[in-house]
Amino acid sequence: MASMLSEFGSTLKAIGKMALLSRVCAVPKAGNGKPLIILANGPSLNTTIKESIGFIRSIDALTVNFAPLSEEFRRMRPAYHVLADPHFFSETDDSGLGKLWASLRKVDWPMKLLVPGAMRSKACRLLGESGVEVVPFNDVGIEGFDAVCRIAFDLRLAMPRPRNVLVPSLMAAIWMGYDTVYVAGADHSWMRTLAVDDNNEVVAIQEHFYKESGQEQQRVSHEYKGYRLHQIVESMAIAFRSYHRIENYARVKGVAIYNVTPGSYIDAFERCRLPEYATK
């Protein structure tokens, strides 16, 4: 009974959030029959790129966050890039953000930049005269009864709670009509790097396949200082739970999601290796 009441409350909250925050967003269908590979920024991605760059370039690729600052970004020529954190659209003197948008403005191949609907105008302004197409999506995170959530997902009004950029990336892949989605670089091994120092401050090292700027490292460390360990662990739990919701939704939609990340902590998606010919 308590569980049913909790689900009912979550459903009412979800309906309210969508009424207030969701916009009409029509993520375009891909319709090219290729698989999609989502390239998250975990350290294992270096190995995947080294072994399978030919395969990655033969299908559609989606990158996230600061990937455009890496040398590999222009080698992979992704069809999509996803930015979800409001920080990426802030008007600050962050040199890393300046370099990110400068790199995106230099993209000279067909690419779509997927951003939250509320950030569309900022993204367009930051891109300037670039040929990159800005595509908005609803990043409204909801929980509740499965039937209600499924309708909201179908209408593209909401998604499972996006505690990580991989959540909107996966939902965008489903919305765009991909039947097969590979997930690489999604190590998500944050729990191995968590610690608490003698000042009772949480210390977390977030490794990426590229070298992080000192300014970005300082920003992340500063953000973590405002949280207690239980809050950070709860946030991680939300992310891992969202992946299970996505897997359930993908199965209903006939979409196969494969986690090709060696040593990944994500337990929601079927594990496999990239096709053999990818390494030839």
In tens digits, the chain (280 residues) has pLDDT values of 667 788 999 999 999 999 999 998 888 888 678 999 999 999 999 999 999 999 999 999 999 999 999 989 999 999 999 999 999 998 776 778 999 999 999 999 999 999 999 999 999 999 998 999 999 999 999 999 999 999 999 999 999 999 999 999 999 999 999 999 999 999 998 888 888 888 888 887 666 555 555 555 565 566 666 788 899 899 999 999 999 999 999 999 999 999 999 999 999 999 999 986 444 4
H-only helix segments in the chain: 2-21, 45-58, 71-76, 95-105, 120-127, 146-154, 166-175, 214-224, 229-252
**AA letter at 165:** V
Give me the pLDDT at residue 218, please.
Answer: 63
Question: CA distances (Å), 279 to each of 218, 257, 270, in order?
Answer: 37, 20, 20
Give me the pLDDT at residue 279, please.
Answer: 42
SS3 state of residue 203: strand
Q: How many CB atoms lie within 10 A of CB 35?
A: 19
Contact 40, 167 (CB under 8 A): no
Give me the pLDDT at residue 280, please.
Answer: 42
Contact 47, 79 (CB under 8 A): no
Q: How many CB atoms lie within 10 A of CB 114?
A: 26
Contacts of the segment 146-150: beta carbons below 8 A, 24+ positions apart = 146/248, 148/11, 148/14, 148/15, 149/14, 149/245, 149/249, 150/249, 150/252
Q: What is the pTM (predicted TM-score) of this model? A: 0.90
Report the alpha-carbon distance of residue 134 to residue 266 in Å, rounded: 29
For residue 275, give both structure tokens: 């096709």
Give me the pLDDT at residue 2, please.
Answer: 64
Does the domain at 2-274 match CATH 3.90.1480? Answer given as yes
